[in-house]
Amino acid sequence: SAWKPVLLLLSPPAFSTTCARCAKDRRLRQKRAISERQLTRYFVDQRKVRVVGGQGGDGGHSFHSEPRKVFGGPDGGNGGDGGHVIFKADQQMKSLSSVLRFYQGFHGERGGSKNCYGANGVHMYVKVPVGTLVKEDGEVVADLTQHGEEYIAAYGGAGGKGNRFFLSNENRAPKLFTPGEPGQERVLHLELRTTAHAGLVGFPNAGKSSLLRAISRAKPAVAAYPFTTLNPHVGIVHYQDYEQVAVADIPGLIKGAHQNRGLGMAFLKHIERCRFLLYVVDLSVPQPWLQLQDLKYELEAYEKGLSERPCVVIGNKVDLAQSRINLPLLREQVAERVIALSALTGDNLEELLLHLRELYDTYVKTEQSRGQSPVKW
C-alpha cells in the first residue's frame, strides 16, 4: 500500500485559486443562437396595455390630545398622492415583448395624526424601446424617439384632505375629511417603429440579410427560400472616428405590400423612421430595374414622399455571370447611383461603406442646420 500516498500527492486539487491550469473555467457561456422562427416569439412590435394610476391616500381624521390642553384642535394630515405610470424610452430595449398587459401605480398613504401627511405613491416606470408610438383610440398621443424621453401614461389620484385642512374661524372642530381620488385609467396601444439611419429595402432573396452580415456584426437568418427574415434586424457599422451608422434589414416586400399582402404593412411602418434608403436589387434576374420601380411604387403607395428620401441602388450578386451583363443595362435605366457588389464574396463593399458615410454626414448636417439633434447610436 506504499503507492497510495503517492497517488494522493500527484492528484490535483478539486479547486485552486492560484494555479491557472487547475482553476475552474469561469468564462461566460455564449448565448445560444436563436432561429428566426423562435425570434418571432421574442420580437413584438405591438402591444395593448391597460394602465391605472395609483389611488390617493385618504385624509386623516384625528384631534390633538395632550395633558393640560383640552381643546387641542384637529390634527389630521392630508393623504399622499398616487403614483403615475410613466413610459420611458430606453435604448437597450429592442422589443415590446417585456411590456406587460396591465400596470398600476403605487397608492398614496393615508394621512396621520399630529398633522402628518401621507407619503406619495412611487411612480411606476415602464421601459419601452426607442421609436415607440403611443396611441389612444387610434390617435397618436406620444412619440418616444429619444433615449430617456418620458410620457405619463396615467396620472395618480390626488390625496384626500384631513380634518385639519377644514379648520376655520367658523368651524373650530371640523370632523370632515375627504378620501383619496382614484387614479386615471386608460387603454393604450403601443406600436414600435424601428429607428435606424439606413433601411435595406428589397424583394425576398435579394440578399439584404447577407449584406447586413457582411457590413456589421448582426446575424440575421440567411437561407435559399423567400421570407427568411421575419423580423427587422438592426446592424451597426463602425467607422474609425467612432461614428456608428445603424442599418435596418427590413423583411422582404412583394407587390401589393401596401394592401397588406405578404408581410405587408406590419413591416412597412419600420421604413418610416429610416433617414435614407438602400434599395437592394438582384442583378441576376431579368430586367432588375423593374424591381426598383415596384419597390418605389409600394413605398409611395404606403406613404407619400417615402420613396423620395435620399437613397442609393445596390446591385447585389455581381459575382454571377448574368449580373455582369445586366449591370450596364441597370445603370442606363436608373437615375440614382448604382453600387455593384457581392455580399457573398465581399467584392466592392468599400464603395458602399464610403457612400453610406456620405449619406450619414449629409443627414447630420441637415439636422444640425434645422436646430435638431441627429439620432446617435
- In the predicted model, what is the mean pLDDT of residues 96-124? 91
Helix pair angle (289-302, 321-333), 10° resolution? 50
Q: Which band of pLDDT confidence, cut at 50, 70 and 90, is reported for residue 213?
A: confident
Q: What is the pLDDT of residue 265?
A: 54
Q: How far is CA 166 from the centre of its chain?
A: 49
More confident residue, 190 or 254: 190
Q: What is the pLDDT of residue 267?
A: 63
Of 142, 118, 102, whose CA–CA distance to 55 is shortest?
A: 118
CATH superfamily of 44-193: GTP1/OBG domain (2.70.210.12)
Per-residue pLDDT tens for 70-101?
Answer: 777 888 899 999 999 999 999 888 788 889 99
Helices (H) then strands (E): counts for the chain: 7, 14
Residue corresponding to grid cell 386623516: 60
**Matching fold, domains 44-193 and 198-370:** no
Q: What is the pLDDT of residue 14?
A: 45
Q: What is the pLDDT of residue 27?
A: 46
CATH fold for the domain made of 198-370: Rossmann fold (3.40.50)
Q: Please state the domain extents for the chain.
A: 44-193, 198-370
Q: Which band of pLDDT confidence, cut at 50, 70 and 90, is reported for residue 108?
A: very high
Residue corresponding to grid cell 455571370: 321
Cell numbers at 169, concatenated: 374661524
- In the predicted model, what is the mean pLDDT of residues 171-180? 87
Q: Which band of pLDDT confidence, cut at 50, 70 and 90, is reported for residue 231?
A: low
Cell numbers at 330, concatenated: 441597370
Of 80, 42, 34, 38, whose CA–CA distance to 60 is shortest?
A: 80
Looking at every residue in the chain, the average pLDDT score rounds to: 81
**Could you tell me what percent of the chain has a pLDDT over 90?**
32
Alpha carbon distance, N-terminus to C-terminus of the chain: 69
Residue corresponding to grid cell 437561407: 223
Per-residue pLDDT tens for 138-152?
Answer: 899 999 988 899 999
Examine the pLDDT at 229 and tell me if it is beyond 60. no
Q: What is the pLDDT of residue 170?
A: 82
Examine the pLDDT at 13 and tell me if it is beyond 60. no
Asked whether the CA dihedral 91, 95, 99, 101 is positive or negative, the reply is positive
